[in-house]
Structure 1
């Protein structure tokens, strides 16, 4: 997504499907255009994010309905590596 005065931002999320339209957001990581961790959050704690994430978000299979969003799946190990980096940077997430 593009954020005014910030630029492009990438959000990576661990989601739990609720149904074909919605997911529960469990954890989220925000990367800047250089792919550095700039923020992260859980269901109870957020650090460095412009706003707290919504607890329920659209299912990734519906993202084609949102013209400004592109989505790809990320391997769990890759997400965990970035989450570890996030917790090191923001210890309050642990």
Structure 2
């Protein structure tokens, strides 16, 4: 696995610690889900910008085919699909498949 992907996955998994810290602060699940979802999208964008164009194009094509846009599902899409706030939190902390086109 390329180093860039390892770094991305480590940072996504670290969102679990962020979720626990937010819970300890007394944040409610919706607030935590919204924050982590936004942080995950920001991580995704930052790492995509560092990814070689050919691979980035494959990632974006798969994401568009799966979710209808190159960035992945919005939080409202996840809620409309029946995801709970806790499921959104867990999903934000879990990296997707690699390579994404398999």
* Fold shared by both chains (TM-score > 0.5): no
Normalized per residue, which structure has more strand?
Answer: 1
More contact order relative to length (CA 8 Å, sep ≥ 6): 2
Under TM normalisation by the shorter chain, which class is it?
under 0.3
Q: TM-score, normalization: structure 1? A: 0.23
TM-score, scaled relative to structure 2 = 0.22
